[in-house]
Structures are given as C-alpha cells and as structure tokens.
C-alpha cells in the first residue's frame, strides 16, 4: 500500500524534479565555464596587466577588504582563486543553486500534507484503509529517492562541466570530480533539513501557500542570519550555529582530502540530517493527532 | 451491529458540531441522515471515517474504534465525500486503479459493468471531465469493492436525474446484497425513496428517528364534507384527526375497506389520500425553527 502511494507521489513530483535537475545540471556546466574563464584567462590577463594574484586574493577574500562579505555569500572556506578546484567548489555553496534546490524541497514538503488538504484530496486518500503514518513514510521514501537523484545530477553536472571545459586535464591544477562526491552528503543533508522542517509546518497547516510562506521566511532568515553572523561576528556570531546554513560545509569535503578524519565535519552533517529527521518526527506526531478539516 | 455510535460528540471550541449522537446501522439497511447545513451530518460521517477525533463518546465499525483503530474500521467502508476533489493529473482508470491498490483490491469485470451502467469513458483525464462525470468515477470506485458499509455524503449532488435514479438503484441493490448504506442528503424525496430508516439532525443533535416502512404504511387523508358532522366515531386506525367543520384531516394506517366503510357513512364531497412523506416530520424540526434547508 505504501509502495502504491510512493509511486503516485514519485509520479506527481517528476515534472518539478526534471526542471530542477536540468537547472542544477546546467548551472554546474555554467560554473565550470566561469571557472575556466577566471582561472585560465581572466587571472592571467590581470597578472599581465600588473595586478598580482596576492593583491587580488587579498582584496576579494581578505578580511580587511571585501573578504568577509564575499566569503559569507560564497562559502566559508579559504579558497584560492587561481585554483580551478577551489573555484569550482563555489558552485556547491552558490546562492542560486541552493535557492533552486531549497525551493524544490520546500515546495514538495508543503504539498505533502497542507497541499493535499488544501486541494481536498487528503480526504479521498485517507478514506482508504491506510495509516497516516504510511503517508509520512511514503513521503520520507520519496525524499530518500528524489534527493539523492538530484545530488547525483548535480555531480554529473560537475563532471560533465569540468570535462567539457578541460578542467580535468590541467596537470597538477586538474579538477578531480571524485573529490566532489562526498559533498553530495552535505547537499542531501541540506535538502533533507529543508524538507523535514517544511513537512512539520505542512502537518500543522491546511493552506499550501501559507506553508510555503512560513518555510521560505524561516530559511531565508536563517540564511541571512548566517551571512550577517559571518560579517559581524560580534554581536551576531553566536546565532550562526542555530541556522542550517552554518552546518552546510561542502567545500570542507571537496577541498580537504582528510575531511573524513574531522569529527567536526561529521557533526555538521549530522546536524543537517538531524534537523530533517526531527522535522519528520514532529510532522508524524502532529499529523497523526490532528483533525482533518473539510476542504474549503 | 455493523456501525454503532455512542454519545458521539464533537466540539470546535465553543461550537458543538455534534451532540451525543447515538446511531446504529445493521447490514443490509439503508440509513439516511437528514438536516440542513450545519446540522452535523458531515461531521458525523467524518468522525466515522476517522478524519476527526471525537471530543467524547465513541464510534465503531464492525467493532473497530473509528479513531484509535481507524484503519481497520475503514477496511469495511467505502466513502464518497461531499466536496469532490480528485487527482486531476490522473485519468479515471488510473484513479480507480490507485485507490483500489491502496485497498489491496483488484478491479474485476464489475468495473466494465459499472462503466456501462454509468456510461462513461474512464480512460479520459479527470481534468477534462465535468463535475458530474467525476462523481460517476468516484461512485464507481466506491461501488467496486463491495465493502460491508458504504458511506455517502450528499451523493446525488451534480448528478442528472437519470444518473440519480441509477445511483439510488445501485444503493438498493447494494443493500439487497447485504451491504449497509449510510448517506446524508438534503433531498427528502430520494431519502423517502430508498431509506429504511432516517435520522433527522438539528444543530448537532439527533432529534428524530423515522422507520420508513412504518411511515410508508401511513396515509394522509383529507376529506371535504358536504355538511359538518358533530360527533365523529373514527375507527381505531385513524390518528391525528382534525375536524375543521366540513374539512377532516387525519392519518390512517391499515386495510382500506374499513376506512372506506366509515367514510361511506359520512356526507363526503371530496376525498384526497396520499402516502405520508418525510416532509411534515422534517418541517416540524426545521421550518418551524427557521432552519429549513
């Protein structure tokens, strides 16, 4: 029974998934192009014009100048602009793909309960002999299929982009797409956190647009608080650990071969997965106890 | 007992949607729930389906509590919602197949029979169907598995007269097969036509139970006399006799010859005789209170 429901949910999500997967894939291709242009052409041209790489690095990424702001938006790692793998890693923390992926996860979860109630189809579904728990489990299974598949497409985009732009054949500067694979766990964790929290809000609501609104507001606030906390460590730095974006550290996994030896990296990943799991748990408890309102 | 509610109550804050409802339905009977909007009909049905948690009291289907053991209770029930919303991205046959799978039921050749009966192309996308056609699809889906209890919330909404007759016929057939049918309606004639018993709700309370067989045995008689008769010695089967001079109004139950013999003794100028309907009983509770539907 759960499988029949899961298949139906997968069918429902396929169009949105294809659109998001295509956009994510294309963004990786585009970013590989940007990486190629910046690292092999623009920086060379600037150096030819007398601008040293160190000065550029200091102005863009140094703490004295734009560094904090740029790093806050493009990831927290100390990256080197002249290294293609460093520059390519920005695509995993760039706000554009994160927004696309986040909206997908929020939209799906908002649709899951509040959307069904809003449309009036939850009544049709729960008139059949299925447990409310099965509805939540079916959505969890869909997340467990759809999100990893999206992550895989993201990585395929990285692979194809870096191959197409010749970044995999740059000698000691080469970009190794395999280094990007562990970061997919972070991407999955972030998507799952978005989905779990939104699922909880969805289980409380009956209007899909309101759930969308609340979830987007919450995650946008988290994103902004994380950015502001990076820029002004005093007095806002303390708030960052309470945002999911603080725990989203894919660059750490991409750029450090020994990341898996760091307990911190695992801890951040666990926080993301934990937020998603707790969201789902709360959604399950709430949904199983609540009245199902009549469709408006 | 297939369905039983005991003091079933539902409050929404200060509002009492259903007030201590006691209801019993046995296999093979058709029970109608009548009442205007807001009288608690849909709330009662939604409590039976486990959509709502009762504030107090309990409901059970085949011994399974409708809230705490709702899944097992729903195995015995097919339900047609009042507000029909379907998955518009499916075709009719996909919807029937999906809902049947959730029930672990395989549509049999009865599907083709119902398809012919309802005269509908189930391969069409639901998004391209009219509301009446969608209702036919859902009716097919609830009639297919032949569950012991069929619950319908205002089932004839948006159906044309022919289809309404087909549906009511199907409900009678279902009852003859031993299924119980519980449905809510605003339409007195269809309830009179098919129901064995009728519950009338008023502001969440069950105010009247009517056995329809008993009601069908009663005739409403209006007699116009050519001159007033002072002392009328009415036979035993005459009830609620009102003597307005030359007009007599009364109810009669039992064999006609006895009544006709009595009337033959009176100076009858005109006679009207019709079966008793629910209308008078319903109006007693609703129109008089200004809450008629």
Tell me whether residues B99 and A129 touch, CB distance under 8 A.
Answer: no
Report CA-CA distances (Å) from B222 to A217, B232, B247, B267, B271: 71, 15, 7, 14, 6
Looking at residue B75, what is its pLDDT? Answer: 95
Looking at residue B293, what is its pLDDT? Answer: 39
Looking at residue A180, what is its pLDDT? Answer: 96
What average pLDDT score do residues B195-216 get? 91
In a domain, A295, yes or no: no
In a domain, A69, yes or no: no
**Cβ–Cβ under 8 Å, residues A29 and A161:** yes
Q: Which residues of A touch B153 (CB under 8 A)?
A: none
In a domain, B153, yes or no: yes
Mean of pLDDT over chain A: 91
Interface A-B, measured as beta-carbon pairs within 8 A, has a size of 66
> What 3-state class would DSSP assign to A160?
helix
* Chain B residue at shortest CA distance from A118: B85
Domain range for residue A109? Answer: 2-33+85-289
Q: For A91-146, what is the HEC assignment?
A: HHCCHHHHHHHHHHHHHHHHHHHHHHHHHCHHHHHHCCCCCHHHHHHHHHHHHHHH
Render pLDDT for A74-90 as a digit per residue (tens, 0 to 9): 665 577 778 899 889 99
B223 and B100 in a common domain: no
What average pLDDT score do residues A6-12 get? 95
B230 and B128 in a common domain: no
B249 and B160 in a common domain: no
* Chain A residue at shortest CA distance from B104: A1
**Percent of chain A beyond pLDDT 90?**
70
Question: Tokens in use for B278?
Answer: 């629910």
B190 and B240 in a common domain: no
Mean of pLDDT over chain B: 89
B124 and B229 in a common domain: no
Tell me whether residues B102 and A5 touch, CB distance under 8 A.
Answer: yes
> What percentage of chain B's residues is helix, strand, coil (to nearest 5)?
30, 30, 35
B204 and B81 in a common domain: yes
A45 vs A192, residue with greater confidence: A192
Looking at residue B159, what is its pLDDT? Answer: 79
The strand order across the sheet containing B268-275 reads B238-244, B247-253, B218-225, B268-275
B292 vs B74, residue with greater confidence: B74
Closest CA to A211 of A129, A126, A110, A121: A110
What average pLDDT score do residues A5-15 get? 95
Round to whole Å and give the CA distance between A11 and A6. 8
Range in A247-251, B192-196, B288-292 the model is least confident about: B288-292
User: Residue B82, Cβ neighbours under 10 Å: how many?
Assistant: 17
Q: Which residues of B touch A8 (CB under 8 A)?
A: 87, 98
**Cβ–Cβ under 8 Å, residues A179 and A50:** no
Q: Which residues of B touch A12 (CB under 8 A)?
A: 89
B90 and B103 in a common domain: yes
Tell me whether residues B81 and A289 touch, CB distance under 8 A.
Answer: no
Round to whole Å and give the CA distance between A34 and A40. 10
Q: Which residues of B touch A135 (CB under 8 A)?
A: none
Of A12, A121, A292, the CB nearest to B51: A292
Looking at residue B37, what is its pLDDT? Answer: 86
Residue B239 maps to which CATH number? 3.30.70
Looking at residue A44, what is its pLDDT? Answer: 82
Angstroms from A68 CA to nearest CA on chain B: 48
Query: Among A1, A117, A128, which would you mutate to test the B interface (most chain B Cβ atoms within 10 Å of its Cβ)?
Result: A128
A188 vs B284, residue with greater confidence: A188
B160 and B251 in a common domain: no
In a domain, B14, yes or no: yes
Query: Among B10, B18, B48, B71, which would you mutate to test the A interface (most chain A Cβ atoms within 10 Å of its Cβ)?
Result: B71
Of A125, A292, A294, the CB nearest to B83: A294
> Which residue among B197, B214, B231 closes a domain?
B214
Render pLDDT for B54-96 as a digit per residue (tens, 0 to 9): 999 999 999 999 999 999 999 999 999 888 889 999 999 999 9
The answer to whether B236 contacts chain A (CB < 8 Å) is no
The answer to whether B81 contacts chain A (CB < 8 Å) is yes
Render pLDDT for B181-200 as a digit per residue (tens, 0 to 9): 999 988 888 888 899 999 99
A2 vs A241, residue with greater confidence: A241
Report CA-CA distances (Å) from A22 to A27, A108, B57, B222: 8, 17, 54, 79
Looking at residue A198, what is its pLDDT? Answer: 98
Range in A2-11, A153-162, A266-275, B234-243 the model is least confident about: B234-243
Looking at residue B292, what is its pLDDT? Answer: 41
In a domain, A38, yes or no: no
Looking at the predicted structure, is the pLDDT value of residue A34 above 70? Answer: yes
Q: Which residues of B touch A292 (CB under 8 A)?
A: 46, 51-52
Residue B177 maps to which CATH number? 3.40.50.300
* Chain A residue at shortest CA distance from B55: A291
In a domain, A220, yes or no: yes
Render pLDDT for B5-45 as a digit per residue (tens, 0 to 9): 999 999 999 999 999 999 999 999 999 999 888 899 999 99
> What 3-state class would DSSP assign to B107?
coil
Render pLDDT for B115-155 as a digit per residue (tens, 0 to 9): 888 888 999 999 999 888 888 898 888 888 889 999 999 88
B110 and B51 in a common domain: yes
Range in B107-116, B247-256, B269-278 the model is least confident about: B107-116
Q: Confidence band (pLDDT; 50, 70, 90) for A163? A: very high
Looking at residue A64, what is its pLDDT? Answer: 62
* Chain A residue at shortest CA distance from B151: A127
Name every residue whose Cβ is closer than 8 Å to that of residue B38 and which is 6 or more positions away in sequence: B203
> What percentage of chain A's residues is helix, strand, coil (to nearest 5)?
80, 0, 20
The structural domain count of chain A equals 1
Tell me whether residues A127 and B79 touch, CB distance under 8 A.
Answer: yes
Question: Tokens in use for B16?
Answer: 């009492």
Angstroms from A129 CA to nearest CA on chain B: 5
In a domain, B109, yes or no: yes
The answer to whether B77 contacts chain A (CB < 8 Å) is yes
* DSSP annotation of B272: E
In a domain, A169, yes or no: yes
B279 vs B88, residue with greater confidence: B88
Domain range for residue B230? Answer: 217-281
The answer to whether B107 contacts chain A (CB < 8 Å) is no
**Cβ–Cβ under 8 Å, residues A128 and B51:** no
Tell me whether residues B98 and A4 touch, CB distance under 8 A.
Answer: yes
* Chain A residue at shortest CA distance from B145: A128
> Which residue among B189, B214, B239 closes a domain?
B214
The structural domain count of chain B equals 2
Looking at the predicted structure, is the pLDDT value of residue A175 above 70? Answer: yes
Angstroms from B269 CA to nearest CA on chain A: 55
In a domain, B291, yes or no: no
In a domain, A140, yes or no: yes
What average pLDDT score do residues A181-207 get? 97
Closest CA to B10 of B41, B44, B34, B33: B44
Q: Identify the contact set of chain A against chain B, taking CB-CB distances under 8 A.
A: 1, 4-5, 8, 11-12, 119-121, 123-131, 289, 291-292, 294-295
> Which residue among B167, B189, B214 closes a domain?
B214
Render pLDDT for A40-77 as a digit per residue (tens, 0 to 9): 888 888 878 887 777 777 777 666 656 666 766 666 55
Q: Confidence band (pLDDT; 50, 70, 90) for B287? A: low
Angstroms from A69 CA to nearest CA on chain B: 45
> What 3-state class would DSSP assign to A170?
coil
B61 and B171 in a common domain: yes
B138 and B254 in a common domain: no
Of B46, B71, B85, the CB nearest to A119: B85
Q: Which residues of B touch A295 (CB under 8 A)?
A: 81, 83, 85
The answer to whether B16 contacts chain A (CB < 8 Å) is no
ipTM score for this prediction: 0.84
In a domain, A72, yes or no: no
B199 and B130 in a common domain: yes
């Amino acid at each position: 029974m759960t499988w029949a429901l899961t298949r139906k949910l997968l069918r429902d999500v396929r169009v949105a998934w294809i659109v998001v997967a295509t956009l994510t894939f294309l963004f990786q291709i585009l970013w590989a192009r940007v990486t190629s242009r910046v690292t092999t052409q623009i920086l060379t041209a600037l150096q030819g014009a007398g601008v040293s790489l160190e000065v550029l690095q200091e102005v863009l990424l140094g703490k004295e100048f734009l560094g904090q702001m740029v790093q806050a938006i493009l990831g927290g790692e100390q990256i080197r602009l002249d290294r293609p793998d460093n520059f390519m890693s920005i695509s995993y923390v760039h706000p554009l793909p994160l927004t696309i992926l986040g909206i997908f996860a929020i939209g799906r979860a908002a649709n899951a309960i509040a959307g069904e109630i809003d449309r009036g189809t939850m009544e049709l579904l729960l008139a059949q002999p299925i447990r409310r728990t099965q509805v939540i489990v079916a959505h969890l299974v869909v997340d467990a299929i759809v999100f990893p598949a999206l992550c895989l497409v993201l990585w395929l985009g990285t692979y194809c982009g870096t191959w197409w732009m010749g970044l995999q054949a740059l000698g000691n500067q080469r970009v190794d797409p395999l280094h990007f694979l562990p970061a997919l766990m972070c991407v999955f964790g972030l998507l799952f956190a978005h989905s779990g929290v939104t699922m909880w809000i969805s289980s409380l609501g009956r209007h899909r647009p309101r759930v969308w609104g609340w979830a987007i507001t919450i995650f946008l606030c988290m994103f902004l608080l994380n950015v502001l906390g990076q820029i002004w460590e005093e007095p806002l730095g303390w708030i960052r650990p309470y945002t999911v974006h603080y725990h989203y550290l894919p660059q750490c996994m991409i750029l450090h071969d020994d990341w898996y030896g760091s307990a911190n990296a695992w801890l951040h990943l666990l926080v993301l997965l934990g937020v998603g799991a707790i969201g789902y748990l709360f959604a399950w408890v709430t949904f199983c106890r609540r009245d199902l309102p009549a469709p408006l | 007992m297939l369905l039983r509610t005991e003091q079933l109550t539902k409050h929404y804050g200060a509002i009492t949607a259903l007030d201590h409802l006691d209801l019993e339905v046995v296999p093979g009977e058709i029970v109608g729930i009548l009442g205007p909007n807001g009288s608690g009909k849909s709330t009662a049905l939604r409590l039976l389906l486990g959509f709502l948690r009762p504030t107090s009291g309990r409901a059970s289907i085949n011994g399974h509590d409708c809230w705490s053991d709702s899944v097992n209770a729903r195995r015995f029930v097919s339900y047609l919602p009042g507000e029909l919303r379907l998955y518009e991205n499916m075709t009719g046959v996909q919807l029937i197949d999906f809902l049947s799978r959730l029930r672990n039921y395989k549509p049999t050749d009865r599907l083709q029979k119902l398809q012919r009966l309802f005269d509908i192309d189930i391969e069409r996308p639901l998004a391209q169907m009219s509301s009446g056609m969608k209702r036919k699809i859902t009716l097919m889906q609830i009639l297919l598995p032949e569950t012991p209890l069929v619950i319908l919330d205002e089932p004839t909404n948006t159906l044309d007269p022919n289809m309404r007759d087909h549906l009511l016929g199907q409900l009678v057939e279902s009852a003859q097969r031993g299924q119980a049918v519980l449905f809510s309606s605003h339409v007195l004639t269809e309830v009179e036509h098919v129901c064995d018993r009728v519950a009338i709700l008023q502001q969440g309370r069950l105010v009247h139970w009517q056995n329809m067989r008993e009601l069908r045995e009663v005739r409403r008689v209006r007699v116009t006399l050519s001159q007033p008769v002072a002392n009328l010695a009415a036979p035993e089967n005459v009830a609620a006799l009102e003597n307005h001079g030359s007009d007599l109004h009364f109810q009669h139950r039992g064999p006609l010859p006895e009544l006709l013999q009595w009337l033959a003794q009176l100076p009858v100028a005109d006679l009207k005789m019709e079966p008793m309907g629910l209308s008078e009983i319903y109006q007693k509770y609703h129109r008089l209170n200004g809450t008629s539907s």
